[in-house]
A and B are shown apart, each in its own frame.
Chain A
Amino acid sequence: MKRVLHSWQGTAALVLCLAALASLPLMAVDAPSPFGTGTVVLVLLMVAGAALVSFTKLSQPLLATILFVAAHLAVWLLLAGIAGNEGQATLAFFLLVAASWLLAWRCVSVLSGIRPKSQAGDTFLRLLIPAIFGAWILILWEAATRGAGIPFIILPPPSSIGARLASSVPILWADVQQTIFKAVLFGYVVGCASGFVVAIIADRIAFLRRGLLPIGNMVSALPIIGVAPIMVMWFGFDWQSKAAVVIIMTFFPMLVNTVAGLAASGAMERDLMRSYASDYWQTLIKLRLPAAMPFIFNALKINSTLALIGAIVAEFFGTPIVGMGFRISTEIGRMNVDMVWAEIAVAALIGSVFYGVVALGERATTFWHPSNRGG
């Protein structure tokens, strides 16, 4: 009894199986290509069997493997069965999808409980668990949109987004080159570098610090994306106007954070430098900049997402016929929602990679900071 309670996902999956059995068939009666009896029996047996196995005291890796295979095979059969029957799925179909999902949940719970001994095993698990998690978001999305027949322009299924992505690689690549490699990277590097340099100057010159910083704080609070049309007027339709928007968006976070970081070193540490008769630049390079690094990386991370948003949205206001923002705004007008989603997926991927690279740099540079030391 205790084990049945422990694997409550297994119990719930069994209940869902019985409910599905009571409300067969899986597709509406007039569906063009209903499920074969063999497939239905196979899915039911797999789900119920795996649910029963989850009550046993098998070793954790073996149990996780059985649950993994059964849950994903069952849901794959179910999804494959929708072909030709879009929008015809019945309650029984969704009950079985839910039961497989519960098994996958159980699988992830078992995996989370494993304490691997080797470094490689640990890394493998750290990647596998979020991968299963992410896959099930796509699986449930696919089952819901195609099974229930949700209109394509409201939410296309991930499979057609994926197909669109695969068939439009040259267009997407051209858009990435235009938006990311030109506008975002150029704007990010120039914006961050100038924010940093101005912060150092402002730190040395008191009137700049007193005058510029309050304005910097105010400008940071403004929706800077509003200047995009003006930048297009100034710098033309090509990527330079988008880079200008990115520069404006990234400049002030870097300025404000660097100035705060330069003030972060302690009084004792500064007295120490004074006792060595250290000059301004030595103190800056050996004490104040290292102490400011956590703040600077904070700005770099904030700016990595700001730059992407800035460049994409700025393209809504006029651009040559290439670029991620241009593609999103024109394809939505032509009801090609799958292409819009493909661009969003690419932007999300690039944004994550961008953020990840900055975060890796941060870990390497500020390993000494209490929040990164670990253990």
Chain B
Amino acid sequence: MPMNNPPSSVVSASKLGLTFETSDGPVHALSNVDLTVNKGDFVSFIGPSGCGKTTFLRVIADLEKATAGEITVNGMTPEEARKSRSYGYVFQAPALYPWRTIEKNIALPLEIMGYSAADRKARIERTLDLVNLSGFGKKYPWQLSGGMQQRASIARALAFDADLLLMDEPFGALDEIVRDHLNEQLLKLWARTEKTICFVTHSIPEAVYLSTRIVVMSPRPGRVTDVIESTLPKERPLEIRETPEFLEIAHRVREGLRAGHSYEE
């Protein structure tokens, strides 16, 4: 199977399905998902809660196992990809360890993966600079604001050599002003690092502003209803959100969400 993938594909799913067995019967979290994420893409997954967008991300990360269909990550199974440390995962909460300083938190994956002390030091410095946290390395997580903590957790995911960055509603708990600022920084970071990013969100402006492709999903069962290629340029100031082009894409996303959402019950 891996041979059939074009070399530029990072994630490739076909007929992917995942069913949770619960005491109330089976729950179809994902059904018949076909999707390819190419190298260098910024793909957003958007949809109402329960549409399986987080589950899909967790399947890519091998934190959940698919029950049907095929998926490859970097041409490997998700488990092989996880064991070869091919992705960085940013959770909904920073999940920084409170007994480690910011520096030590960023060093955590590097220690586990056996990077040398000198290499660790250089990488910590570089990633702290990437997320604009230079000078905060010696602080403990609980001494920083929520936005700074989330930036530190992004730095932690960037510290080791993984080309794929999986982000699960990383800015969901932050206020809108901080979120705008972090979105802007994330775009710059993406441009500088040339990583492939899969980004889960439930905010339409966030998805349109950040992505090269937007995957619209709908619940019961979780499935892909639309994939929208963004026509926005790669260089995106915050003001782009008022342009007609931006509003048109946002409109299409909203239409897709509405079509997939059933109000029958």
Contacts and interface: CB of A to CB of B under 8 A. Distances in A.
A268 B93 contact: yes
Nearest to A367: B99
Interface in A354-369: 366-369
B73 interface: no
A262 B88 CA distance: 25
B95 A368 contact: no
B1 interface: no
A268 B61 CA distance: 13
Contacts of A370: 142
Contacts of A275: 61, 63, 82, 87-89
Chain B interface, >50% SS class: loop
A272 B99 CA distance: 16
Interface string B117-151: 00000000000000000000000101000000000
Interface stretch (A126-134, A163-171, A282-290, A300-308): A282-290
Contacts of A268: 91-93, 95
B95 A272 contact: yes
B83 interface: yes
A367 B143 CA distance: 13
A26 to B, nearest CB: 60
A241 B92 CA distance: 54
Interface stretch (B23-31, B43-51, B106-114): B106-114
A278 interface: yes
Given A271-B63, A368-B140, A373-B142, A276 B95 contact: no
Contacts of B88: 275
Nearest to A369: B98
Nearest to B83: A277
A273 B108 CA distance: 9
A367 B112 CA distance: 24
A287 B97 contact: yes
Interface in B127-185: 140, 142
Contacts of A368: 98-99, 140, 142
Contact of A271 (B84, B87, B89, B109): B89
Contact of B97 (A269, A277, A278, A282): A269
Contact of B112 (A266, A286, A373): A286
A341 B210 CA distance: 75
Contacts of B113: 276
Nearest to B101: A368
Contacts of B97: 269, 286-287, 290
With most chain B CB atoms within 10 A of its CB, the pick from A266, A271, A370 is: A271
A6 interface: no
A278 B82 CA distance: 10
A3 interface: no
A367 B141 CA distance: 13
A274 interface: yes
B85 interface: yes
A276 B228 CA distance: 32
Contacts of B62: 274
Interface string A250-284: 00000000000000001011011111111000100
A30 to B, nearest CB: 71
B95 A266 contact: yes
With most chain B CB atoms within 10 A of its CB, the pick from A269, A275, A290 is: A275
A123 B142 CA distance: 27
B98 A271 contact: no
A269 to B, nearest CB: 5
Contacts of A276: 85, 108-109, 112-113
B108 A274 contact: no
B91 A277 contact: no
A275 B88 CA distance: 7
A277 B84 CA distance: 8
Interface in B11-67: 61-63
Contacts of A290: 97, 99
A287 B108 CA distance: 10
Nearest to B85: A277
Contacts of B93: 268
Contacts of A286: 97, 108, 111-112
A274 B82 contact: yes
Contacts of B89: 271-272, 275
A274 B109 CA distance: 11
Contact of B82 (A277, A282, A287, A293): A277
Contact of B91 (A271, A293, A366): A271
A268 B91 CA distance: 8
A188 B91 CA distance: 42
A271 B90 CA distance: 11
Nearest to A283: B112
20 contacts: A268-B91, A268-B93, A269-B95, A271-B63, A271-B89, A271-B91, A272-B89, A274-B63, A274-B82, A275-B63, A275-B82, A275-B88, A275-B89, A277-B85, A278-B112, A282-B112, A366-B99, A367-B99, A368-B98, A369-B98
Interface of B: 61-63, 82-85, 87-89, 91-93, 95, 97-99, 108-109, 111-113, 140, 142
Which 10 residue pairs are nearest across A and B when measured between Cβ atoms? A368-B98, A368-B99, A275-B89, A268-B95, A277-B83, A278-B112, A276-B109, A276-B112, A290-B99, A268-B91
Given A272-B89, A275-B61, A275-B88, 14 more contacts: A268-B91, A271-B89, A273-B112, A275-B63, A275-B87, A276-B109, A276-B112, A276-B113, A277-B85, A278-B112, A282-B112, A290-B97, A368-B140, A368-B142
